[in-house]
Amino acid sequence: MPRQITLADGRVVEVECLSCALTSGLIDPTGGVIYESSLFHVHQDVAYPIRGLVILASKRHHYGMDELTDEEQLEFISLIHKIRKEQRNRLGIEKVYYFYNEDTTHHFHLWMVPRYEWMYQLGSSVESLRPVLLHARNHMNDEENMKNVVEGINILKVGMKDFNLKMKR
């Protein structure tokens, strides 16, 4: 059943599966696609405007990590490694929370949530993740921060270009 979702940039979309809508190109993620292959789609999280908050989503609709094919497994771990390297080297992100759950309304995806200094006021462990995300959604979707987020997306796109070349060889 379709549901309405408000994106960080203010757009309201109605979809059955947000991940399917993003990976198929039905919805353009804020700032565009960071990386895309025949198996995976990498984009800025569309609900939470935090610079460098990356979603690594399977293009195939499934829910569990144990459902990845051999080919998907290899690309998945390579992508995590490359994205994290670019977060650190290009965006200066020192710490990241990796979050994946199987009871989502969307299909298989991994959240790579940067840990910034401002987040410690909301807690210092994984328990602070939800308050951090809500704070970003409710207080950081202004024009200045969205420009900063899009700048981060563009920087990550540049970093992922050499991964595109490596994977096509």
> For the segment 17-76, what is each residue's pLDDT rounded down to a tens digit?
778 788 888 888 889 999 999 999 999 988 899 999 999 999 988 888 999 999 999 999
Residues of the chain above pLDDT 90, percent = 62
pLDDT level of residue 163 (50, 70, 90 thresholds): confident
> Which amino acid is located at 109 in the chain?
H
d(CA 53, CA 1): 28
| Token pair recorded at residue 74 | 């290899």
